[in-house]
Amino acid sequence: MTRTALAAALFLSFCTLGACGSSTGDRAISGGAIGAGAGALGGLIVGAPLEGALIGGAVGAGTGALTNENQINLGRPIWR
80 vs 72: CA distance, rounded Å: 18
| Closest listed residue to residue 36, CA positions, set 64, 3, 2, 71 | 64
Could you give the CA distance from residue 65 to residue 45 in angstroms, rounded to a whole number? Answer: 28
pLDDT tens per residue across span 5-58: 766 766 666 555 555 667 788 888 888 888 888 888 888 888 888 998 999 899
Which pLDDT score is estimated for 58?
A: 92
Q: In this model, does residue 60 exceed pLDDT 60?
A: yes
pTM, two decimal places:
0.65
Give 35: exposed, middle or buried? Use CB within 10 Å, 0-12, 13-18, 19+.
Answer: buried
Question: Per this entry, what is the length of the chain?
Answer: 80
Local structure of residue 47 (DSSP, 8 states): T
Q: What is the mean pLDDT of residues 56-73?
A: 81
Quote the pLDDT of residue 23: 79
Contact 26, 20 (CB under 8 A): yes
Torsion angle in degrees (nearest 10) through CA of 37, 42, 43, 44 = 90
